[in-house]
Amino acid sequence: MNKANIKLEYTLKECDKHLLRLNSAHKKMKQFMPLTARSYKKLTDDEIEHIDQYLFRFAKLQDALGERLFKNLLTYLGEITENKSFIDIFNKLEQLNIVDDYDGWLELRTIRNELAHEYDDEAAENAIRINKIYEIKDKLTSYFAHVKIYLNKREFY
């Protein structure tokens, strides 16, 4: 197995791990979602841990996809990715019909970045942000699913 295959396989496993834990946290949050300003203020320590785990894994999965998986996939396919911007990499994946919806990707980044700047005294705004990122999990995971479908067709697994 060559280096590109190994890097791609490693990154796929990393993404699978993040997805597994993201799904677990999402399931645990179901019992108290969606949040309101009032319910946000009354979150238990366990509920906060579930939210923290969810946000952490959402960010880790998005980073793994955007910083490693997309690039490693193109390298595996024989494309040169060195010194390419993220938009160039994403555009190439779109041309290959592996992923689509760059605007959707940017929306995910924006929502995630908004949560990075949350403040405890803004219960209503934090509840809205958490609800939004909770609702868009499937959008994030669809990018990973499309890569896996593409690789299955190529019999990578």
pLDDT given at position 119? 64
Task: Report the Cα–Cα distance between both ends of the chain, in Å, rounded.
Answer: 12
Asked if 134 contacts 103 with a C-beta cutoff of 8 angstroms, the reply is no
pLDDT given at position 65? 98
User: In degrees rounded to 5, what are phi and psi of residue 115?
Assistant: -70, -25
Question: Which amino acid is present at 149?
Answer: I
pLDDT given at position 113? 87
Q: What is the CATH number of the domain that holds 107?
A: 1.20.120
Domain span at residue 123 reads 3-153
Instruction: Give the rounded distance of the alpha carbon of 135 from its chain centre.
Output: 13
Question: Which amino acid is present at 103?
Answer: D
Q: From residue 102, how far is each of 4, 36, 94, 130 by CA, in Å?
A: 25, 30, 9, 22
Q: What total of structural domains would you count in the chain?
A: 1
pLDDT tens across the length of the chain (157 residues):
799 999 999 999 999 999 999 999 999 999 999 999 999 999 999 999 999 999 999 999 999 999 999 999 999 999 999 999 999 999 999 999 999 999 999 999 998 888 777 666 799 999 999 999 999 999 999 999 999 999 999 998 7
* CA separation for the pair 110, 132 (Å, rounded): 11
pLDDT given at position 118? 67
* CA separation for the pair 61, 35 (Å, rounded): 23
Overall pTM > 0.75: yes
Tell the burial category of 25 from Cβ atoms under 10 Å away from its Cβ (0-12, 13-18, 19+): buried
Question: How many Cα neighbours within 13 Å face the side chain of 107?
Answer: 11
pLDDT given at position 75? 97
pLDDT given at position 116? 78
Q: From residue 85, how far is each of 64, 73, 92, 146 by CA, in Å?
A: 16, 15, 11, 21
